[in-house]
Amino acid sequence: MANCFALMGWSLPVIESMQKTGKPFVVVSFPDFEPYATENNIPFLPYPLDEWSDTSNSLDLFEKLKAFNADVAVPLYEETVEWAGALNSIYRGDARVLNRAFLFRNKAMMKRKALIGGLKVGLFEEVFNKEGVKAFMKRLNQANLQLDGEADSWVHIKPFASAGTVGHRLLRSMSDIDEKCEDSDFPCLAESHLSGREFSCEAFINKGKIRFLNITEYVKLGYSNFIPEGHYLESKRDLIHKQVQKMVDIFGIEYGMVHPEWFLTENDELNFGETACRIPGGHILELCSKAYEFDALAAFVLCHDPNITEEELDGIFPAKDFKPKNYHGNVMIYPRKRQFSKLEIPEDLNNEPYFVEHTLIAPYEGQKLSGDRDGFGNHFGTINFRGEDPDRMTELLKHYEEVDFYV
């Protein structure tokens, strides 16, 4: 068992889960959190994680963490993946651990690695300006044997190192490139549109093997998901398990959790979208904890530990034959109007048997949405559902995603 986990980033739910496990940990985050940490007796090391300099670097942080006897670093956020990678390189005496962290932070490098290893990915390229995107789309059109007058092939652009949907743009035509792309988007990754049904999974890895695989059914990306997966994806579980293990092997991941996104085609082919190795958004681990009745956040941290025993691992995760009793889903609510003054909760939600609870908050007077939203922006609250039928769950999530809660 690890001497002490260094949690890279501030997350109250994770801290609370760790307190419950009784395992030693220290939180490394910005000095702003120090007063709160002191007040609540949370072991804390203030560090300027947004700075890389003579006084702020992994060697220095390594020295400072000695006081806490830390020997495993756990990235909680996209932005702390390299920090954790660098520290774990030192802890494990393996320089390549840091390189692997870079893999997660550069989507072009990630795709290349996946391609070399034999995963099916789309066509991709690093682009440096609008002309580059146009050239890419043109080559894609050619490859797709476009005839005069036919629509252009879709191209996605995304920053190399951002979480989830942040900075992601879908370009459906040449003119889209002129209209939607900003100079500040570049350089970035351009890739062809992958078809298939999109879903994510969360694979908890220890000693290079999947210890637990969660599959999350996306009803609408960024808005709603539920766990466990519905009937169709469930029938593909073995296939998915195999493919995820393949990805883990290709990337050489030994410890932690990966959160890959896949596109499942009608021919049962899995196209690789991308993967992350931090806590996924959308309250996924919260749903996962409820559905499988274990503490997924604690499990996330603990499976980073190279020295954990098999018994300890078995104690963390649900039993191999565990069958969730219910489907747990949520829908994140965003205002659909630019200007709104009230929170309006529809009557039918009260008596909806699947409804569990929500965290919606009334807007303050005259609240407006700011013009630029990153990714999906911050949602205003979440509605949680629980029930036995995945199809009914899908229907509900679809319905409430369309409802105007903010008017």
Under the rule (CB under 8 A), what is the footprint of other proteins? 12-13, 15-16, 19-20, 40, 341-345, 347, 350-351, 353, 355-363, 365-366, 384, 407
Q: Pick from 360, 302, 304: which is nearest to 332 by CA?
A: 360
One-letter amino acid of 177: I
Query: In whole angstroms, how close is the CB of 64 to other proteins at the nearest point?
Result: 24
Nearer to other proteins, 206 or 289 (CB): 289
Query: In whole angstroms, how close is the CB of 76 to other proteins at the nearest point?
Result: 14
What CA–CA distance (Å, rounded) separates 134 from 140?
10
* Token digits of residue 63: 């020295």
Measured between alpha carbons, how far is residue 183 from residues 95, 133, 163, 171, 175 in Å?
35, 12, 20, 15, 15
- Which strands sit side by side in the sheet containing 155-158, from one edge to the other? 124-127, 188-192, 155-158, 169-171
What phi and psi, each to the nearest 5 degrees, are found at residue 335?
-60, 140
Nearer to other proteins, 67 or 407 (CB): 407
What phi and psi, each to the nearest 5 degrees, are found at residue 91?
-60, -40
One-letter amino acid of 17: S
Query: In whole angstroms, how close is the CB of 118 to other proteins at the nearest point?
Result: 43
The DSSP 8-state label assigned to residue 34 in this structure reads H
Nearer to other proteins, 210 or 360 (CB): 360
Nearer to other proteins, 95 or 345 (CB): 345
What CA–CA distance (Å, rounded) separates 276 from 81?
9
Query: In whole angstroms, how close is the CB of 367 to other proteins at the nearest point?
Result: 11
Query: In whole angstroms, how close is the CB of 362 to other proteins at the nearest point?
Result: 3
Query: In whole angstroms, how close is the CB of 402 to other proteins at the nearest point?
Result: 19
Query: In whole angstroms, how close is the CB of 7 to other proteins at the nearest point?
Result: 13
Element containing residue 220 per DSSP (H, E)? strand 209-220
Nearer to other proteins, 40 or 57 (CB): 40
Q: How far apart are the first and last CA of the chain?
A: 52
Nearer to other proteins, 211 or 283 (CB): 283
Query: In whole angstroms, how close is the CB of 21 to other proteins at the nearest point?
Result: 12
What phi and psi, each to the nearest 5 degrees, are found at residue 115?
-65, -45
Nearer to other proteins, 107 or 358 (CB): 358
What CA–CA distance (Å, rounded) separates 292 from 197?
24
Pairing label, strands 209-220, 224-227: antiparallel
Nearer to other proteins, 366 or 371 (CB): 366
